[in-house]
Amino acid sequence: MSSFAKIVGTGSFLPSQRVTNEALVAQLALGGVESSSEWIVERTGIHARHFAQPQEFSSDLAFHASVQAIEAAGLGPQDIDLIIVATSTPDMVFPSTACILQHKLSKLHGAAAGIAGAPAFDVQAVCSGFIYALTVADAMIRAGNAKRALVVGAEVFSRLLDFKDRTTCVLFGDGAGAVVLEASETPGILASDLHADGQHVGILCVPGHVSAGAISGTPLLQMDGQAVFKLAVGLLHGAALKALAKADMVEADIDWLIPHQANVRIIQSTAKKLKLPMERVILTVHDHGNTSAASIPLALDVAVRNGQVKPGQHLLLEGVGGGFTWGAVVLRF
């Protein structure tokens, strides 16, 4: 039995519709909401985000990112024996987006015989979802229950936005990121640290549900931005230190910090606490916005493909999201 799980391929996908701050501000103005690109950049660092078309769903974005990751690993879909999708915007109430993704992958040439029987399920931890999903996949591989896992973060958060609330609608975008984890004799995922505290459930939520054929409650995102900011920095720092301690490492051992891409101010504050210069932080929030569970694997794939992240380097991934959930993963790439 292999002792470790290692990332052997990454992939990502963004919808073709890129929405700049200027375009979003013009859209908001039509609804009587005032904002400006300067206001958005100053508070968030975001310059643009991508929105899915009405006919695009999380499974579609996940599919494209997954194909990239599987190809980067030098594998085919038939080689995957576990699928975990982290999402807060599933295609439907059920079945899981992971099962829908599995079906789409099974249609690829030669894939059906293998991937069609693999376990597939979703993880819902909002913006921490990819960290949770990666930890679950790592544990299943270490336990011998899988050899190669496809772990995906995919979101269409644009469907949840209230475009009359300028404090939230400017923050989020759509996208997907994926990794392939493989059983390995050499270290890959070194340690993880997961947490949740349900007493904060109300500060970031979409309090709506389907009942009797109609939507009951509020199906749009609601957030107490100040409360989220205050919690996020401290919780991320704590989880990072715990994960590093489990890996018998310290902050200086990290080559790259790849944080959840929510807000550049949160990222800067977290890096400062970890005594890491911003030159060692992967940033994509300026062009992606907050893509929730997709943000970390999206940023990872961008950094891999542009040559920033190299084999053998140590990475610290960390995320915080509604629930309130948070966590960190330390790995050797």
pLDDT digits (tens, 9 = 90+) for 55-68: 999 999 999 999 99
Q: Is the pLDDT of residue 114 over 80?
A: no
Q: Residue 228: what pLDDT?
A: 96
pLDDT given for residue 143 in this prediction: 96
Q: Are residues 161 and 214 in the same domain?
A: no
How far apart CA 226 and CA 203 sit, in angstroms, is 9
Same domain for 254 and 143?
A: no
Q: Has 260 been annotated as catalytic?
A: yes
Query: What's the CA gap between 16 and 170, in Å, rounded?
Result: 18
**pLDDT tens column, 226-242:** 999 999 999 999 999 99
- Tell me, yes or no, if 21 is annotated catalytic: no
Q: For the chain, what percent of residues have pLDDT higher than 70?
A: 98
Question: Which residue segment(s) compose the domain that 170 sits in?
Answer: 4-186
Whether residue 26 sits in one domain with residue 172: yes
List all residues 6 or more positions away from 242 whose beta carbon is below 8 Å from its beta carbon.
Answer: 193, 328
170 touches 46 (CB < 8 A) = yes
For residues 197-222, give the mean pLDDT. 96
> Above 60 in pLDDT, residue 1?
no
For 256-298, write each residue's pLDDT tens digit: 999 999 999 999 999 999 999 999 999 999 999 999 999 999 9
Residue 205 bears catalytic tag: no
Q: Are residues 130 and 144 in the same domain?
A: yes
Among 50, 64, 260, 288, the active-site one is: 260
Average pLDDT taken over every residue of the chain: 96
Say yes or no: 117 and 154 in one domain.
yes
Contacts of 83 (CB under 8 A, 6+ apart): 98, 101, 102, 115, 118, 119, 120, 121, 149, 150, 152
CATH value at residue 274: 3.40.47.10
State which of 125, 155, 186 marks the end of a domain: 186
Q: Is the pLDDT of residue 307 over 60?
A: yes
Residue 116: band (very low, low, confident or very high) from pLDDT cuts 50, 70, 90 = confident
Among candidate residues 21, 127, 200, 288, the one labeled active-site is: 127
195 shares a domain with 182: no
